[in-house]
Amino acid sequence: MDYDVVVLGSGFGSLTAAALLAKRGLRVGVLEQAKYPGGCSSSFKRKGYWFETGATTLVGLDEGMPLRYLLDEIREEVSLQKLEPPMQVHLPNGETLTRYGYLEDWIAEAERVFGKHSQRPFWEHCYKISQQVWRTSLQQRSFPFSNLRDLLLSVARARPAQLHLLPAAFRTMEDMLRHYDLLQDKLFVDFVNEQLLITAQNKLEEVNELFGATALCYTLYSNYYVPGGLINLVNPIVNYISRQESRVLHGQKVQRVSKEENGYVTSTSKGSFKSRFVISGLPLNNTMQLFDDKKIQQTLQKHVMPSEMLNGAFTMGLVLQGQSIPEVLHHQVHVPEGLPLIGSKSIFISFSHPEDTLRAPAGEVVASISTHVKHPEQNVIEDKAVIQAAIVDALVRQQLIRRENIVYEQTATPGAWIFWTQRAYGAVGGYPQYQHVKPWQMKDARLDHKGAYLCGDTVYPGQGIVGVCLSGIIAAEKLLQDHAV
């Protein structure tokens, strides 16, 4: 079957690009190997309960942010519940820190826990940077540049505030804490590091100020819960694509992509698809293996990160019965001694809303738990039970769960992520930020400057639903810009 555009994978970046191109009248085929769409930004059903596949937090719906732009463009609505406050953090000293969604409330809380020294100027600076980054992200949809037209469009769209962001690309978050004389506060440094791991996948000495300030401030924007799970964020976009005479096809594991005279042939486990254009929403590590064009492989090799630079995840899903659920649904728990075998020093747990009977029957809730596994190819986990027990112990100590309320539990290692998602090494969360990779050096949306494009969490701008949404917007924009279709 022929399409104008074939999209590899149905992650959120892929669905974003597919929806925007379908709106322009292109016939799009999205090829997904799994049963459910959405990739790591979705949900799956097991034993009658809906568990989150990966992501559990949702931002990006404020004015001028990528997800808001997408939903406005396709005129779709999603059922949402705003969370305030969005998160609590349980620190090593026994303090519980509430990440309020309003700047003044958050600064007061940070000063209560960490002391008044430099907290206000630090957070006001971070928030200002984050606002400028979000404003710029949709204004500069030709970034990163990979041809002259990109550069000319970016110059035409440039605003003075955008130029003020440039120095922040050369400073790390470590530099920023040093500037505000906060590096000597170990409790604060530990807090910043574990918060950065959630959204930037790395620590303060590696994350640049642009990404770091934005990552630390994500709780200062509207945070939402999706009733029924994130699958109900994905489904409206899938339905929109289908209404435009395009399709999301499941059970289609992509095996090879070949360039032909008039386009591309994508071979899957069930057949082959011809298209004029192709967009890969798969990680660069996987994409490089699928294209038989040597030039494409050589181009991607410069950007591909090996396992030792990546993170996998150890995840758990719990069903709790008769559990008193905290008013705050998202929690990060510090584990200063480190978890056994993997050494991770924090756990993230998200509870389903107690009134959400789409995910669990009344009186029961689903808890999604995750923690980082560095260098997933090397750190093969053979004894899940040891880590599982340590995580449950840590959550019980914080009185977030009660052991006797657990009626069902499941765990997954990076090996399971390879099986579920086919992602190389089972790496999830996107490419971590590294100081030697400046924003303009990240892989842009063009793959071969002929008709192949990229989006997802391993190209600019990287992680999180809002980031991959932006990558899909950029991929669609550059395809339309290049070919005037």
Per-residue pLDDT for the chain (485 aa), expressed as one digit of tens each? Answer: 689 999 999 999 999 999 999 999 999 999 999 999 999 999 999 999 999 988 899 999 999 999 999 999 999 999 999 999 999 999 999 999 999 999 999 999 999 999 999 999 999 999 999 999 999 999 999 999 999 999 999 889 888 888 889 999 999 999 999 999 999 999 999 999 999 999 999 999 999 999 999 999 999 999 999 999 999 999 999 999 999 999 999 999 999 999 998 999 999 999 999 999 999 999 999 999 999 999 999 999 999 999 999 999 999 999 999 988 899 999 999 999 999 999 999 999 999 999 999 999 999 999 999 999 999 999 989 899 999 999 999 999 999 999 999 999 999 999 888 888 889 999 999 999 999 999 999 999 999 999 999 999 999 998 899 999 999 999 999 999 999 87
Look at residues 225, 243, 271 and tell me which one is the last residue of a structural domain: 225
Residues 234 and 289 in one domain: yes
199: in domain: yes
* Residue 312 sits in the same domain as residue 350: yes
Nearest to residue 233, comparing CAs of 445, 64, 10, 483? 10
Q: Assess if residue 362 is contained within a domain.
A: yes
Please report whether residue 15 resides in a domain. yes
Report yes or no: 290 and 254 within 8 Å, Cβ to Cβ. Answer: yes
Alpha-carbon distance of 53 to 420, in angstroms, equals 9
CA distance 370 to 358: 22
- In 3D space, the residue among 433, 445, 447 whose CA is nearest the CA of residue 145 turns out to be 445
E-strand spans in 61-160?
81-83, 87-90, 96-99
Host domain of residue 330: 307-426
- The residue among 5, 37, 35 whose CA lies nearest residue 20 is 5
CA distance 29 to 189: 46
- Asked whether residue 52 is domain-assigned, the answer is no
**406 with 319: CB under 8 angstroms?**
yes
CA distances from 40 to 33, 66, 281 (A): 13, 18, 12
Are residues 214 and 231 both part of a single domain?
A: no
Cβ pair 227, 79 in contact under 8 A: yes
Do both 403 and 472 map to the same domain?
no
Query: Total structural domains in the chain?
Result: 3
Best CA proximity match to 376, nearest among 437, 337, 423:
423
The span from the CA of 217 to the CA of 354, in Å, is 27
Phi, psi of 71 (to 5 degrees): -65, -35
Nearest to 122 by CA among 98, 106, 133: 106
CATH at 248: 3.50.50.60
- Which 3 state secondary structure label does DSSP give 350? strand
Domain end residue (candidates: 225, 244, 279)? 225
Whether residue 241 lies inside any domain: the answer is: yes
Q: Does residue 53 fall inside a structural domain?
A: no
* Chain centroid offset of residue 164 CA: 26
Considering the domain architecture, whether residues 294 and 332 belong to the same structural domain is answered as no
Name residues whose C-beta falls within 8 Å of residue 191's C-beta, 6 or more positions apart in sequence.
Answer: 89, 91, 97, 114, 334
Are the C-beta atoms of residues 429 and 311 closer than 8 Å to each other?
Answer: yes
One domain, residues 193 and 255: no
Closest CA to 43 of 444, 356, 362, 447: 356
What are 468's two structure tokens?
A: 């991959």
| Whether this model's pTM surpasses 0.95 | yes
Same domain, 414 and 463: no
Residue 114 counted as domain residue: yes
CATH number for position 410:
3.30.70
User: 337 and 401: one domain?
Assistant: yes
Q: Are residues 270 and 161 in the same domain?
A: no
Boundary-marking domain end, from 225, 242, 263: 225
Location of structure tokens 């971070």: 126
Same domain, 312 and 300: no
User: Distance (Å, rounded) from C-alpha 98 to C-alpha 88?
Assistant: 4
With H, G, I as helix, E, B as strand and everything else as coil, classify residue 254: strand
| Residue 224 CA neighbour count, 13 Å, CB half | 21
Residues 186 and 149 both lie in one domain: yes
Same structural domain, 247 and 311: no
